[in-house]
Amino acid sequence: MYHIISIRDFERNDLDYLLDRAGEFDTGKYQPGMLDNKLVALLFFEPSTRTRMSFATAMARLGGKSISVDSVEASSIVKGETLADTIRVISSYVDAIVLRHPKEGAARLASEFSSVPVINAGDGAGQHPSQTLLDLYTIRQSMPVDGINVGLLGDLRYGRTAHSLALALSLYGVTLHTIAPKGLEMPASITLELRERGMEVIEHPNVEEAVKELDVLYVTRIQRERFPDSASYYNVASSYRITTDLLDGVNDHLMILHPLPRAGEIDPAVDCTPYARYFEQARNGVPVRMALLHEVMK
């Protein structure tokens, strides 16, 4: 059975294969009824807009159907049911499960109790492999991923998309530039792992220092709840804000990506520049998730 749990489980060939498949779905090279009669359960125990809707859209485009649980409050988890029991039961109803859960390792646990494939749609501060695939897919639309300079900006401590992406990029000879507020730096264990994988990781004190040498700037949300008060949040958040002024003199081909939702990290004026690619990135969630759903249920 093919589960999609962590980017650590993938070799470069696996990623390239899935990205190629996503490209085929993106350009219409598929039969619309490929997942006719298939049913997927979308179990989202944390809020989500893009991930949940793009999985539902992907399933519908392939001719399949989806059922969903949209919150803990609407499930038997509030009655004390374990995730293990929930998964045992739901997996007897459907052909695949897409799971978002606040606890790290939840998807791995689910895969141990499920009789059908499990796709991790984000587990706490852990992994979010389908987001990483669509990030890579978006980069690959514009440039080869090999050997480029990628900047990760924002909450690199708790941001699961940043961790997953960094691990994936380490398979492509990318140089990683990290820019994070004090206290929200990339965990040392992940930086160590990246370096052990042969990745060059350069830490920068501010975005101005790094931005001109980047091919991709990946911005993540700085979460207000990580700060003791609003004043300290605004103080930090404003110093990590991407504005059009900041983009003077950057590479012409610079791509600015963001997993969205954003909360002020990117000035809306940047949306009109050729560097802004985050809405295109969000759109790419559909073909990438079509590839994943088809792969686990074919």
* Residues annotated as part of the active site: 50-51, 79, 100, 128
Give the Cα separation of 26 and 203 in Å (integer). Answer: 35
Based on CB atoms, which residue is closest to other proteins, 52 or 101? Answer: 101
Which one of the spans 120-128, 134-142, 272-280, 289-297 is the region binding other proteins (CB under 8 A)?
120-128
For 258, the token pair is 């963001």
Which one of the spans 15-23, 118-126, 174-182, 284-292 is the region binding other proteins (CB under 8 A)?
118-126
Give the Cα separation of 147 and 163 in Å (integer). Answer: 19
Cβ contacts of residue 42 below 8 Å, gap of 6+? 52, 55, 56, 66, 67, 68, 69, 98, 121
How crowded is residue 177: how many other Cβ atoms within 10 Å of its Cβ? 24
User: What SS3 state is found at 40?
Assistant: strand
Contact between 164 and other proteins per CB under 8 A: no
Taking the complex as a whole, the smallest distance from the CB of residue 159 to other proteins amounts, in Å, to 14
Contact between 125 and other proteins per CB under 8 A: yes
Among the listed residues 121, 65, 128, the one whose alpha carbon sits nearest the alpha carbon of residue 98: 121
Taking residues 70 to 99 in sequence order and writing x for each that binds other proteins by CB under 8 A, - otherwise, the string is ----------x-xxx---------------
Contact positions with other proteins (CB under 8 A) in 172-191:
189
Contact between 104 and other proteins per CB under 8 A: yes
Contact between 131 and other proteins per CB under 8 A: no
CA neighbours within 13 Å on the CB side: how many for 14?
16
Taking the complex as a whole, the smallest distance from the CB of residue 84 to other proteins amounts, in Å, to 5
Binding site for other proteins (CB under 8 A): 6, 8, 80, 82-84, 101-106, 108-109, 112, 123-127, 189, 192
